[in-house]
Amino acid sequence: MSVEIISVHFPKAGGSSLKKSLLDAYGQESVYLDYKDDPVDPTCQYYIDPEGCRRKANAICDRLEIKIIHGHFNPSKYNQIKNAKSIVFLRHPIDNLISIYFFWKTYKEPSHAIFNYFRDNQLTLIELAKLPAIRYLMSRTYFSDVDMKSFDFIGFQENYSEDLHSLSKLLSIPITENKENINAFVDYSEEVKAIKANKQIMGTLHDCLIEDIMFYENARKIQAAQNYRKNGR
């Protein structure tokens, strides 16, 4: 297998920008984009037939030109690749949820069952936060039973430029930052400010997302430990 990098695109955490950067750095023929098994989607093949899904993944990995796999998927889908570097960018769960909420409010196309349920029932931000797939988006939906220490690189959307530079050093290849904000066509900054200024809403969100917040804070500690080992500081 020639795959060198397994890149998990965690939603609304800079993954679309990273995708463009990886395509620019490695070339389109070397990057396989895997968005068919989004962990949020309860009808995806990975949850219906995980073994069959892994067999198909093996066939993909045997394609000699592929160096990078990037997309929405549970990391265990590619457990059979032993020597590739695993990378991911994360984002604070409250900021992440707010971004998902406004993106879903403006997205018009049919999508997976959770999105369609949100749209059809016109859920509020708090109602969205209480859906199990979203409430535990980080700790269970994407990374259930995953040891985050197994990742070679964990970056954070809040420090995207700095962390992308660190990733470039780790991979020993120049990676140019590309800004891709798929929420940018709608300005919801005033609504976000109002939400963050509302102590009751923020308190409720914190309580709903506490498991993911703890997971996120632990990932921060793992990144700090990795940086200490690499840099001696």
- Domain ranges for the chain, please list them: 5-231
Residue type, 79: N
> Which value, in Å, is the radius of gyration of the alpha carbons in the chain?
18
User: What is d(CA 46, CA 51) in angstroms, rounded to the nearest whole number?
Assistant: 8
Two structure tokens written together for 201: 């809403």
User: What is d(CA 75, CA 101) in angstroms, rounded to the nearest whole number?
Assistant: 24
Give pLDDT tens digits along the chain (233 positions): 588 999 999 999 999 999 999 999 999 999 999 998 999 999 988 888 888 888 888 777 776 688 999 999 999 898 888 889 999 999 999 999 999 999 999 888 878 899 999 999 999 999 999 999 999 999 999 998 899 999 999 999 999 999 999 999 999 999 988 876 555 556 788 999 999 999 999 999 999 999 999 999 999 999 988 876 776 55
Find the angle CA(135)-CA(140)-CA(146) to the nearest 5 degrees.
150
The CATH-assigned architecture of domain 5-231 is 3-Layer(aba) Sandwich (3.40)
User: What is d(CA 6, CA 127) in angstroms, rounded to the nearest whole number?
Assistant: 33
Q: What is the pLDDT of residue 56?
A: 80
| Rounded-to-5 percentages of helix, strand, coil across the chain | 55, 10, 35
Residue 95 makes CB contacts below 8 A (sequence gap 6+) with 157, 158
Give 109's DSSP letter.
S
